[in-house]
Amino acid sequence: MAVLQFREALLQAIDEEMERDESVFIMGEEVAEYNGAYKVTEGLLDKYGFKRVIDTPISELGFSGIGVGAAMKGLRPIVEFMTFNFAVLAADQILNHASKVRYMLGGQASVPIVFRGPNASAGQLAATHSVAYDSMYAHFPGLVVIYPSEPDDAKGLLKSAIRCEDPVIFMESEQMYGMKGEVSEEKDYIIPIGKAKVKREGGDVTVVASGKMYHVAKKAAEVLAKEGVEMELIDPRTIKPLDMETIIQSVKKTNRCVIVDEAHPYGGMAAEAGFLIQREAFDYLDAPVRRVTLPDAHAPFAKNLFDLWLPDAKKVIDAVNAVTYRN
C-alpha cells in the first residue's frame, strides 16, 4: 500500500484514466497552467497538452454545457468546479440536461461525464461557500452521487466514475485534500459504485457517516470505545445509489442507529436513510434513529459560531448516548 494525500489519490485516478482512454479529458478553472486550485491536476498539462487539459473562463454554466455536449458525442469529460457552491450556476446543464438525456432520448444517447470538486464547508468562508449539496443532486433521477472520505476510496471510486455511462457528481472536501492515507497499489484499482464499507465493527450502535463527517464519527468512536461502547461505523461512500442493504444488516445487529450528515436536516441524506431504516428494520430498533446534522441555519462567519454550527464528535457522542440510553 502506498501512502498518498487525498489530492494525490485523485490525481493518480485521473492520470491513469487519461492514459488508458484518449476520450477522457479534464476542464475547469485553473486546471491547466496553475495545476488546479487544489493541485489535483498537477502535471497533467505537461503530460497531455492543452487539448485534454483545458483552462476555462469563470463561467460554470458555459463550460458545463460544453462538457455535456462533448459527452453526448462520445468523449468522457471531467469537469472540475472550484467548489460545488459555484456549481449552482451550472444547475441547468446538470439537472435539466445531463441527468435527463438518456431518459428523454429513449436510451439513444448517454452522458458519461464526471462533475467533481469540493463540497460542504471549508473553514471560515461564510454562508455562500459552506453548503453541502450532495442531497440536492441525489434528489434527481439519472445522477450518481459519490462522496468519499479517504484517499483509497477516492482513487478507486473516481476511476469507476470516469468509466460510468451516467453523469456522476463526485464530491470532495476541501479540508481533506492534504489528508494522507494508504492507497492500494493494485493495477487498475477499481471500487464498485454503490457499495458501502463497514470501516469499524461493533455491536452497540450503527453510525453512518460519509465525507468529512466520517472522520468526525471516527473520532467519536475512539472516545466511546474507552467508555465500553463499540460503534459499528459505516461509510456509504456513494450517496446515490445508497447501499441500504449494508446499513440495514448492521442495524439488525446493533438495534440502534445514528446518522451523521454535514447538511441541513430537512430533506437530507440522513432523513432519507432514517426513513428507510425504520421501514426495513423497524422491528429490530430498540431506539428511534437519531440524526446529527447542521442546524436549519446558514453558516456563520465568526469562528466560535462556525464551530458550534458544525457537527462534531461531542454531538455524535451525545446522539449515541441517547440511543443507548446512557444519558
Catalytic positions, written as ranges: 60, 129
Dihedral-angle region of residue 254 (phi above 0 means left; psi in -120 to 50 means alpha; beta otherwise):
alpha
Among 320, 128, 106, 129, smallest CA distance to 230 is for 320
∠51-56-58 over CA atoms, to 5°? 180
Q: Are 318 and 146 in contact (CB under 8 A)?
A: no
| Alpha-carbon gap, residue 294 to 264, rounded angstroms | 5
| Alpha-carbon gap, residue 258 to 49, rounded angstroms | 47
Strands 197-200 and 231-235: antiparallel
| Alpha-carbon gap, residue 326 to 323, rounded angstroms | 8
Among 276, 279, 198, 286, smallest CA distance to 234 is for 198
